[in-house]
Structure 1
Amino acid sequence: MAIAIHDTLYFDKIERTNKLQTLVAIAYASVNIKEKKEVIKQLEYALNIFKTPKSSTELGSGTYEGKQAQWSSKYTLSRDFGLVQESKDEIILSDFGMKIVKGEITPKYFISTVVLNYIQVVNNSIIHPLNSIICEMEKKGVMELSKSELKLISDFNLNGRDENNYVGGLIDILQATYFFEGNDNSKLKINEDLFSVSSLKNLINYTFTELTVEVVKEKFGAKNQKEWCNYLAIENPLLNKIILKVQDDDEVKVKVKGDINLLQNRLIYGAPGTGKSNILDKERKRLGGGYERVTFYEDYSYSQFVGTYKPQMNENGEIVYKYVPGPFLRQLANALDPINKGEPQLLIIEEINRANAAAVFGDMFQLLDRDSSGKGEYEIHLSEDIKNYFKYDRKIDIKSLRLPSNFYIWATMNCADQGVFPLDSAFKRRFDEYKLMDINENEREINSITIDIRCNCIGKVNWNVFRHTLNEYLLEQGIKDDKLIGPFFIKPMILKDEEKVQGAFKDKLLMYLLEDVVKRNRGLFSNDAKSLNKINSMYNKNDGKNLIFSEDFMDKLNEKLQKNNYGEE
């Protein structure tokens, strides 16, 4: 058995021994002995280490006697959770399991990593039990769920009934991780000293959302136990940054830490398609903690960003006015809230120059200066509205405000777009990092992608080669570099789709080039393609022979393609 496939959540009835101890016992019982029958015998001795004596004269009170039924229960645990990969009559530890034996990782780290990846097929849908639990906690705004509440989670398809105590088995497993408190089998409670709902959510491996049931069954079926083990062993770099494994009196101590290499105030700018948002999203996952994303636009205002009074309906059905915080105040409150244990709280601002940023920040602009520790250098006195929001809605009693070091503000800016507001130098100075994205940054990620350009008889061409040629030509025509085309101007998933890329090339790339880039300098296009209507009527017609690009550009492209084909580039 590899991935579990059932009508409901399923966890085998496992003997009520400590799960970490069971895994360690199986690991050591099978590390030097491969034959299954011998491993079963050795397991009794391995488990003796963990037995609790009934009296001072007894060595142990465990019930394991090397019986097949008892072995099957424990062995199922080891296979389901990626400790063992089997070859019929032999027991072979997975590579990740071997790390326990070698002392490279602790059993607790092993099982914590596994549950971040662990999935089941339930009622012909892929579920991630830990994710289902965290989403339920997030929905209810709680840090713990009772066993009865767990039975009602819709993903588990138990409908409140659990005659086989599958939820009990799940609780046992999760309480063996860093993430939850142990001992009480009637509930599941997040280890609040170390984690919050949002930080746990950021740790989960969400690749399962990209898979279909058919793919999962084939990929992780009984015949592919090794691949299942490898999947469960995917380590989250963020977990490695959060968990400090320190051996002290055979106890593993852990504490939360952020990524100290990521600055609090950052502004990333550059040409379209250079991957600005993608970079920040990847680094958001490195940072951990909670985050909120907002996009500025021309009429975006202080009241939307910081907060304002808005009409609300109270419990009596009456319309009352209440102070409603915006994303800035919400994330700042999360950073100050003791319940989040000082974990990072990030506000991502997309397209910051599409609004009047200085007006949107208003008096909060004064807070942006940071000292060497990352804390705000200056403080401001709060209005009564904001003070009351902190005091009564968030239970944070403060009279003045200074940015804490765990509050991060990251922004993106696209200088090429029309109708944007220039950022003044005073605003730019408040950002510790003011980075220009290179036009070819991270282009290696799509080096192998070719697209079929259906005009000028171009046909199939490497996307990066075409883009490089286009950018070089634009620069020769006096076009500024912030108007050039980045590697991700068209998303990789679209570039790889033979039909969707046609619409993106015509309606997105060619339109941008005509209306935003070349404008009156139309040397890029042929005399027959000087308007968007003309281009729409010509592209992907006449077997791709219609001349949309100019002869001058095509000479440059053909020269580049010839060199590329002969390996001169």
Structure 2
Amino acid sequence: MPTEDDIEPHVRAVLKTLAIRKNVIVAGPPGTGKSRLLNRVRELFEWRHGHTGAAPTAAIPLPAASGEIPTWFPSPDQDVSRRAFQTVFDQNTKYRDFMRGLVPTVGKAGVFTVTKGTLYRASIHAKHEGNAALVIIDEINRGPAVAAFGSALVGLESDKRLASDGTETATTQFFELLGDDGGHESFALPNDLYILAAMNEADTSVEPLDVAFLRRFAPYRLEPQVEVLRQHLGLPADPTSLPETPGTALDLYEALAQAWVQLNRQILLGRGQAYQLGHGALMHTTAPTSGIGAAQEYVADAWATLRGHIDEVFFGNTRALSDLLRAEHYRSPYALEETTFAGQTVRRIVGPTRLRADELYNLLSLIAKQ
């Protein structure tokens, strides 16, 4: 039987918070491992005998789920059927997709069917003796979350649920929804139902979630972790000095790691915590160690991700991009060009579309040393 120390810290913390609060939202910059965390929690929550959730990039592989469920888990006594129900919110997500609603029946004009959405199906499963259910929602702020939950919002909090034996308590909150016959029926969320969601705060295409909605969820934040990136790149724990020219793959990786740290510091100052770039964005594949040429390709791909991110975060702010790219330094492959158009000063960054290996190393070194 695995102990708390056998399980990765973030996974353990989220499971323990779910056990207490029932609802958790994982937030953080892109590339910090939110979706991976959701999958890892799902693997353990379902507690399948002989199942392992190990992943190639895991610092500590998950143990095989066997034996008695730990007492600190969500619903440790419910071991008949533990199921996860997964969904992704988008702009078209509706209450009928998540709870219940009417939809036309295909091939039958004028005939409607009452839907069974993700949260509804999970609730019904969790109401059976010995069962527990986990609803996983990725990209929760990409859709109309408040509308999707609808009347179920009033019963989300742990003290508003049914008791563990399915009976009503003094604080259980009931709400109306459609029954199978189309009529309204009273419904309350079960005790052994859990909701785990993830959101990307920096996504400019979505609206912030309602404060009253967020209040019903325990927040859990992931941050960029330089130690994870350095381990992935095969680097020592502490940064080392950068040579004038790279002699090994590790020199290139050291420049990449240090430049990424420095860029995140500047993004934090210029835009805020949510707009940083996580370590996972630069861990797109195994970092080659056999030759400097393969490492150069890896670093070039990583830089393309970094450059695309800062272009998006500072879109329209040419002066900020110039500072980030060291465009006014003589060793930078980029330059800040100023000209006049329609009587106004126009600034733009000029430079190669794809950097040569020496140009890329020089740029990363410049950024790292700032």
**Would the TM-score normalized by the shorter structure come out above 0.5?**
yes
Partner of 1:449: 233
Partner of 1:480: 272
Partner of 1:369: 157
Q: Of 262, 284, 307, which aligns to 1:469?
A: 262
Partner of 1:352: 140
Q: Relative to structure 1, is the Cα distance of residues 363 and 470 closer, same or farther in structure 2, using a 3 angstrom cutoff? A: same
SS of match in other structure, 1:322? strand
Whichever residue aligns with residue 362 of structure 1, its letter is: G
Partner of 1:280: 38
- What's the TM-score once normalised by structure 2's chain length? 0.62
Pair 1:545 & 2:359 matched: yes
Q: Of 435, 449, 460, which aligns to 2:252?
A: 460
Partner of 1:407: 193
Does the 8 Å contact 2:28/2:221 carry over to 1? yes
Partner of 2:25: 267
Partner of 2:104: 311
**How far off is 1:362 after superposition?**
1.4
**How far off is 1:511 after superposition?**
1.1
Task: Deviation per CA, 1:129-177: give whole Å up to 9, x if none.
Answer: xxxxxxxxxxxxxxxxxxxxxxxxxxxxxxxxxxxxxxxxxxxxxxxxx
- Bigger Cα Rg: 1
SS of match in other structure, 1:469? helix
**How far off is 1:416 after superposition?**
0.8
| Whole-angstrom CA distance in 2 between matches of 1:533 and 1:344 | 55
**How far off is 1:514 after superposition?**
0.6
Whichever residue aligns with residue 262 of structure 1, its letter is: L
| Whole-angstrom CA distance in 2 between matches of 1:500 and 1:406 | 49
| Whole-angstrom CA distance in 2 between matches of 1:504 and 1:388 | 56
SS of match in other structure, 1:488? helix
SS of match in other structure, 1:325? coil
| Whole-angstrom CA distance in 1 between matches of 2:299 and 2:92 | 34
Partner of 1:509: 306
Q: Relative to structure 1, is the Cα distance of residues 464 and 503 closer, same or farther in structure 2, using a 3 angstrom cutoff? A: closer
Does the 8 Å contact 1:342/1:406 carry over to 2? no
Task: Deviation per CA, 1:241-285: give whole Å up to 9, x if none.
Answer: 9xxxxxxxxxxxxxxxxx766331001111111112222322222
| Whole-angstrom CA distance in 2 between matches of 1:532 and 1:361 | 45
Percent of aligned pairs with the same amino acid: 22
Deviates more, 1:268-277 or 1:280-289: 280-289
Is there any run of 5+ residues in structure 2 with no aligned partner, and where? Answer: 8-14, 47-81, 164-168, 236-243, 289-293, 329-333, 337-346
Whichever residue aligns with residue 418 of structure 1, its letter is: T
Deviates more, 1:276-285 or 1:414-423: 276-285
| Whole-angstrom CA distance in 2 between matches of 1:515 and 1:308 | 38
Whichever residue aligns with residue 508 of structure 1, its letter is: T
**How far off is 1:373 after superposition?**
8.1
Q: Relative to structure 1, is the Cα distance of residues 488 and 434 closer, same or farther in structure 2, using a 3 angstrom cutoff? A: same
| Whole-angstrom CA distance in 2 between matches of 1:305 and 1:529 | 51
Does the 8 Å contact 2:114/2:180 carry over to 1? no
- The structure that is helix-richer by fraction is 1
How large is the RMSD of aligned CA atoms in angstroms?
Answer: 4.0
| Whole-angstrom CA distance in 2 between matches of 1:554 and 1:297 | 40
Task: Deviation per CA, 1:452-472: give whole Å up to 9, x if none.
Answer: xxxx97771235433222212
Partner of 2:113: 322
**How far off is 1:304 after superposition?**
2.5
**How far off is 1:548 after superposition?**
9.3
- What's the TM-score once normalised by structure 1's chain length? 0.42
How many residue pairs match? The answer is 281
Q: Relative to structure 1, is the Cα distance of residues 364 and 448 closer, same or farther in structure 2, using a 3 angstrom cutoff? A: closer
Q: Relative to structure 1, is the Cα distance of residues 261 and 269 closer, same or farther in structure 2, using a 3 angstrom cutoff? A: closer
SS of match in other structure, 1:328? helix
Does the 8 Å contact 1:295/1:350 carry over to 2? yes
Q: Relative to structure 1, is the Cα distance of residues 374 and 333 closer, same or farther in structure 2, using a 3 angstrom cutoff? A: closer
Task: Deviation per CA, 1:54-109: give whole Å up to 9, x if none.
Answer: xxxxxxxxxxxxxxxxxxxxxxxxxxxxxxxxxxxxxxxxxxxxxxxxxxxxxxxx
1:117-266 residue pairs with structure 2 within 5 A? 262-263=18-19, 264-266=22-24
Partner of 1:22: none
Partner of 2:205: 419
Q: Relative to structure 1, is the Cα distance of residues 494 and 329 closer, same or farther in structure 2, using a 3 angstrom cutoff? A: farther
Greater RCO structure (CA 8 Å; 6+ sep): 2
Q: Relative to structure 1, is the Cα distance of residues 272 and 261 closer, same or farther in structure 2, using a 3 angstrom cutoff? A: closer
**How far off is 1:444 after superposition?**
3.2
| Whole-angstrom CA distance in 2 between matches of 1:361 and 1:480 | 30
**How far off is 1:356 after superposition?**
2.6
